[in-house]
């Protein structure tokens, strides 16, 4: 399948008119064809107008029809086969196995949302039947269901060209909720975006859905991206990327005459706490596991372990020595984009020249383009707490070990942390009492708490939370991974004394969709 370089607006392929975007192969710094001419204000207008026209029809599709649509998208992505794998590898520098894994994750995610849509629990139906005889006042008939917010603007992420991009978690959850989606492609992988976008276009066509259910635009964030966020027909935003990008979108959304929610996943350094008994009994294995997690994907994961916190002493010294040995042996890896490589180099440089941190070890230097060299730094807890700059996310394989005097100081460090996607604890049974004193703080700081694991690797399932307090995300009440992500794009509506023939099927008296509803305070089934 050849790439056209066109914007995909509804069912149309439209040539852009603005500054072209070219993918760069980060392994060679070669420009990849074709050029993707950026969209203009008129293209944003057309995509938003089609999305708005599609909204009422799409949101009332049956649960089955919407589930089939999501499954059809997955089928068409799988059918792209090697064409998609090769293009994504060339645009990202990621190994083929990782891209194949990400395609599998993307399709699994779409099918998981299909299952969620069919089950209908997300409609959260509540019925309080009329009590005409109630004293002193009768109660009217009250019924609640959730409806989708409206068209959603999704920003593809650079670090997951498939699973967090055109058909990734934000798109899948918004489509599952009944929201049309307009994607602003990440400029790092326009070809991958086009291929996946065409798979969605095909599914829209085959499922006989209104064309505005999906559009894909290329162009700059400040023009196309802000243009989408400012359009009154856009009702929510999904984003994964930098803190500055996420904040710019959040501020634009708040400044609208009608402010809208922005679900931005931004920066997190994912603290790992090593407790005394665990450190003493298996410090070497912990050091190896830590470096493996740190180096995975050249550290370009939002859950990368960028901070290790432990009480100083022989066991921690041994951990640092083993981790440093593993870092020194770590081969360089190609980063996703020249921009991410430059940001990583600047972040490492800032740490290396910071008097409050000491460079402990660095990995093998790469001789190609955009090579990530692993770095390990060490700091004292008092220096760490005095210097907020040490909490900045360095996106890549760099981490900082913070040495504490005692447990009380480790708890102080935890209290001073910004919001995080994850907080990890390594412990043995003998550490249990000490861990219990830290857990309340970790609950306030992070979206996911792990014991004896590593934060990289985010399961797509019902219980997952991939979110957390600011700056991990712009809205701590949500998750961007797992089926609960659908809740971001819904709102409740209550129907009072509405005649049964006018009610939507989910809340009709006879329960034709056979949903598990909360009726007069009792769960049905
Ligand atoms: P980014 O610069 O935030 O870009 C992400 C998307 O947002 C792009 O489509 C970009 O458009 C748009 N954008 C950025 N700034 C904007 C603004 N002020 N107004 C409107 N739109 C804007 O992220 P990136 O390119 O993926 O990587 C840059 C850095 O972000 C990395 O070095 C890393 O520090 C961080 N990052 C963090 C995570 C994480 O999960 N924590 C993931 C990825 C990246 P353009 O096409 O104009 O660039």
Q: Are 489 and 148 in contact (CB under 8 A)?
A: yes
Residue 420 confidence class, pLDDT cut points 50, 70, 90 = very high
Cβ of 343 less than 6 Å from ligand 1: yes
pLDDT of residue 525: 72
Rounded CA-CA distance 494/436 in Å is 42
Q: How far is the CA of 245 from the centre of ligand 1 (A)?
A: 5
Cβ of 340 less than 6 Å from ligand 1: yes
Residue 236 confidence class, pLDDT cut points 50, 70, 90 = very high
Residue 218 confidence class, pLDDT cut points 50, 70, 90 = very high
Residue 139 confidence class, pLDDT cut points 50, 70, 90 = very high
Rounded CA-CA distance 515/525 in Å is 9
Instruction: Give 193-208 pLDDT, tens digit per residue.
Output: 999 999 999 999 999 9
Cβ of 184 less than 6 Å from ligand 1: yes
Instruction: Give 300-330 pLDDT, tens digit per residue.
Output: 999 999 999 999 999 999 999 999 999 999 9
Q: How far is the CA of 157 from the centre of ligand 1 (A)?
A: 7
User: Which phi-psi region, left, alpha or beta, contains residue 428 (left: φ > 0; alpha: ψ -120 to 50)?
Assistant: beta
Residue 524 confidence class, pLDDT cut points 50, 70, 90 = confident
Residue 246 confidence class, pLDDT cut points 50, 70, 90 = very high
pLDDT of residue 491: 98
Query: For all residues of the chain together, what is the average pLDDT?
Result: 97
pLDDT at residue 358 greater than cutoff 80: yes
Residue 86 confidence class, pLDDT cut points 50, 70, 90 = very high
Residue nearest to atom 23 of ligand 1 (CA): 241
Closest CA to 204 of 62, 112, 66: 66
Instruction: Give 390-403 pLDDT, tens digit per residue.
Output: 999 999 999 999 99
Residue nearest to atom 11 of ligand 1 (CA): 221
Instruction: Tell me which of 37, 158, 159 to substitute to probe ligand 1's pocket, judged by most ligand atoms within 8 Å of the beta carbon.
Output: 158
Q: Are 438 and 458 in contact (CB under 8 A)?
A: no
Q: Are 383 and 348 in contact (CB under 8 A)?
A: no
pLDDT at residue 334 greater than cutoff 80: yes
Cβ of 248 less than 6 Å from ligand 1: yes
pLDDT at residue 1 greater than cutoff 90: no
Cβ of 480 less than 6 Å from ligand 1: no
pLDDT of residue 426: 98
Residue nearest to atom 4 of ligand 1 (CA): 241
- The secondary element (H helix, E strand) that includes residue 333 is strand 333-334
Instruction: Give 421-480 pLDDT, tens digit per residue.
Output: 999 999 999 999 999 999 999 999 999 999 999 999 999 999 999 999 999 999 999 999
In the chain, % of residues over pLDDT 90: 99
CA 207 to chain CA mean position, Å: 27
Instruction: Tell me which of 238, 241, 264 to substitute to probe ligand 1's pocket, judged by most ligand atoms within 8 Å of the beta carbon.
Output: 241
In the chain, % of residues over pLDDT 70: 100
Task: Note the pTM of the prediction, 2 decimals.
Answer: 0.97
∠ Cα 381 383 384 (to 5°):
60
Instruction: Give 260-277 pLDDT, tens digit per residue.
Output: 999 999 999 999 999 999
Rounded CA-CA distance 461/442 in Å is 22
């Amino acid at each position: 399948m050849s790439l056209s370089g066109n914007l995909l607006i509804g069912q149309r392929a439209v040539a852009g008119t603005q500054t072209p975007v070219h993918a760069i192969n980060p392994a060679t710094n070669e420009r990849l064809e074709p050029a993707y001419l950026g969209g203009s204000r008129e293209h944003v207008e057309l995509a938003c107008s089609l999305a708005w026209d599609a909204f009422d029809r799409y949101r009332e599709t049956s649960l089955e029809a919407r589930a089939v649509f999501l499954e059809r998208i997955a089928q068409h992505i799988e059918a792209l086969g090697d064409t998609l794998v090769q293009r994504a590898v060339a645009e990202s520098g990621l190994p083929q196995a990782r891209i194949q894994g990400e395609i599998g994750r993307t399709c699994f995610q779409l099918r998981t949302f299909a299952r969620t849509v069919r089950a209908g629990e997300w409609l959260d139906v509540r019925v309080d039947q009329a009590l005409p005889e109630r004293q002193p006042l009768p109660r009217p008939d009250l019924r609640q269901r959730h409806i989708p917010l409206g068209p959603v603007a999704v920003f593809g992420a650079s670090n997951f060209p498939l699973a967090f991009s055109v058909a990734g978690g934000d798109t899948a959850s918004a489509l599952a909720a009944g929201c049309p989606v307009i994607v602003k492609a990440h400029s790092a992988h326009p070809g991958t975006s086009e291929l996946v976008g065409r798979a969605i276009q095909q599914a829209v066509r085959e499922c006989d859905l209104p064309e505005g259910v999906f559009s894909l635009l290329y162009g700059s964030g400040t023009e196309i991206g802000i243009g989408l966020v400012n359009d009154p027909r856009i009702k929510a935003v999904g984003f994964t990327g930098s803190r500055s990008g996420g904040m710019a979108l959040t501020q634009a959304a708040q400044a609208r005459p009608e402010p809208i929610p922005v679900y931005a996943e931004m920066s997190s350094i994912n603290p790992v706490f090593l407790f005394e008994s665990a450190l003493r009994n298996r410090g070497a294995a912990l050091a190896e596991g830590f470096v493996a997690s740190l180096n995975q994907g050249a550290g370009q994961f939002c859950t990368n372990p960028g901070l290790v916190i432990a009480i100083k002493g022989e066991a921690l010294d041994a951990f640092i020595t083993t981790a440093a040995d593993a870092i020194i042996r770590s081969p360089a890896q190609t980063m996703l984009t020249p921009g991410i490589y430059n940001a990583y180099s600047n972040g490492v440089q800032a740490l290396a020249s910071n008097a409050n941190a000491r460079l402990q070890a660095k990995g093998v230097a790469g001789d190609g383009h955009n090579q990530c060299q692993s770095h390990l730094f060490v700091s004292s807890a008092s220096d760490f707490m005095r210097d907020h700059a040490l909490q900045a996310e360095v996106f890549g394989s760099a981490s900082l070990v913070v040495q504490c005097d005692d447990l009380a100081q480790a708890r102080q460090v935890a209290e001073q942390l910004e919001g995080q996607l994850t907080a990890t604890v390594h412990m043995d049974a003998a550490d249990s009492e000490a861990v219990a004193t830290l857990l309340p703080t970790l609950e306030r700081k992070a979206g996911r708490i792990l014991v004896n694991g590593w934060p990289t690797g985010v399961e797509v399932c019902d219980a997952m939370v991939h979110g957390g307090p600011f700056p991990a995300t712009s809205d701590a009440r949500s998750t961007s991974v797992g089926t609960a992500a659908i809740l971001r794009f819904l709102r409740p509506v209550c129907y009072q004394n509405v005649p049964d023939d006018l009610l939507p099927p989910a809340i009709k008296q006879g329960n034709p969709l056979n949903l598990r509803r909360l009726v007069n305070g009792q769960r049905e089934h």
